[in-house]
Amino acid sequence: MLRRWGNERVASLQAPRVNRGCAADSLPADGRLRLLSFNIQVGNSTERFRHYLTRGWQHVLPHNGRSGNLQRIGELLGDYDLVALQEADGGSLRTGYVNQVEHLAQLGSFPYWYQQLNRNLGHLAQHSNGVLSRLQPTLLEDHPLPGPPGRGAILLRFGEGEDALAVVMMHLSLGARTRTRQLAYIRELIGGYRHQVLMGDMNTHANDLLENSPLRDLGLLAPQVEATFPSWRPQRCLDHILLSPGLTLERVRVLPQPISDHLPVAVEIRLPDFLTGAMPPMLREETPAEPSS
């Protein structure tokens, strides 16, 4: 067990789950990596602000439209190598006891996936973040974030040593003071890495993250400037993929896919030549152990 942020939070070492029906990929020869971050709102669609009230029951009970929405999301994810999911459900009454992270890994043919349970309401809800990956991480850490329970971050490392790539996937709090504490925690997590990617629903604008937060000394780039929320009439840029300067941006898009109340953010990057050599090989016959419960 790793202790961070004093004794306030405990981070656990984990192994990704293995989807044995899929073969792992090696990094493309040109070193390109396709990233996507998506707050999927438990597979619920929202098309007007009034739907938060009129469709609020869908956050508690199962409904027919959810499976179709997940199918659409799964088809979308198939084009990406590494995916951060927020507001997924780990398998409860409202989803028909379907673990949405695992289900989307199967739909998108991802060999590796991990579900981070952040708020356990038993049979009613299993509020979670998720990661889907075509590359095998060399390290995975599960980090509950400071503040009221229910927010978390997942740290993935690809490769070893100073040339490793650190990726943190997160869902930050709405409150500015709590969010600052959470970003300070994340700043500590990635301080030892030269190559960094931060992905997720950060609930604030890029200027706040890069200029007025504990991340401000890292020199991170925020290539995406289009609004992501609300999906039916985007006005606020809350979802981000932040990059360290040594990673070359090839493409950035906010996808016009109003499946959730957030739009997904997609970034394609090219890794430095020396970093591609440190990335993990294809899956061998031995597979990682299942994570402890």
Q: Mind giving me the DSSP string for the chain?
A: -EEETTTTEEEEEE--EE-TTSPPPPPPTT-EEEEEEEE-GGG----STTHHHHTGGGGTS--THHHHHHHHHHHHHTT-SEEEEEEEESS-GGGTT--HHHHHHHHTT-SEEEEEEEEE-TTS-EEEEEEEESS--SEEEEEEPSSSSS-EEEEEEESSGGGPEEEEEEE--SSHHHHHHHHHHHHHHHTT-SEEEEEEE-SS-HHHHHHSSTTTTS--B----S--BSTTS--B--EEEEE-TTSEEEEEEE---TTSSS--EEEEEE--HHHHTTS-----SS-PPPPP-
CATH code assigned at 245: 3.60.10.10
pLDDT band at 9 (very low <50, low <70, confident <90, very high): low
282 assigned to some structural domain: no
Give the pLDDT of residue 14.
Answer: 87
Name the band, by pLDDT with cuts 50, 70 and 90, for residue 50.
low
Q: Does residue 283 register a pLDDT over 50?
A: no
Beta carbons of 101 and 42 less than 8 angstroms apart: no
pLDDT over 90 (residue 28): no
State mean pLDDT over 22-37: 81
User: What is the span of the domain harbouring residue 74?
Assistant: 2-276
pLDDT in tens, 66-125: 888 999 999 999 999 999 999 999 999 888 899 999 999 999 999 999 999 999 989 899
236 in Cβ contact with 229 (< 8 Å): yes
How many domains is the chain partitioned into structurally? 1
Q: What is the mean pLDDT of residues 246-271?
A: 94
- Confidence category of residue 280, pLDDT binned at 50, 70, 90: low
Query: Which pLDDT tens digit goes with each residue over 182-234?
Result: 999 999 999 999 999 999 999 999 999 999 999 999 999 999 889 999 999 99
**219 in a domain, yes or no?**
yes
Domain for residue 34, yes or no? yes
In a domain, 231, yes or no: yes
Per-residue pLDDT at 1: 31
Residue 287 lies in a domain: no
Go through the chain and tell me how many residues it has: 293
Q: Name residues whose C-beta falls within 8 Å of residue 238's C-beta, 6 or more positions apart in sequence.
A: 201, 202, 203, 204, 205, 228, 229, 262
pLDDT of residue 224: 80
Task: Name the phi and psi angles at 197, rounded to 5.
Answer: -135, 130
pLDDT at 10 over 70: no
Q: Report which of 277, 19, 284, 269 is spatially closest to residue 167, judged by C-alpha positions.
A: 269
Q: Does residue 106 belong to any structural domain of this protein?
A: yes
pTM of the model: 0.87
Q: Read off the pLDDT band of 19 (50, 70, 90).
A: confident
Q: What is the pLDDT at residue 103? A: 95
pLDDT reported for residue 199: 98
- Confidence band, pLDDT 50/70/90 cuts, at residue 289: very low
Residue 291 maps to a domain: no
Asked if the structure places residue 289 within a domain, the reply is no
Cα 261-267-270 angle, rounded to 5 deg: 165
pLDDT in tens, 129-182: 999 999 999 999 999 999 998 999 999 999 888 889 999 999 999 999 999 999
CA distance 101 to 69: 14
Q: Rounded mean pLDDT of 8-21?
A: 78
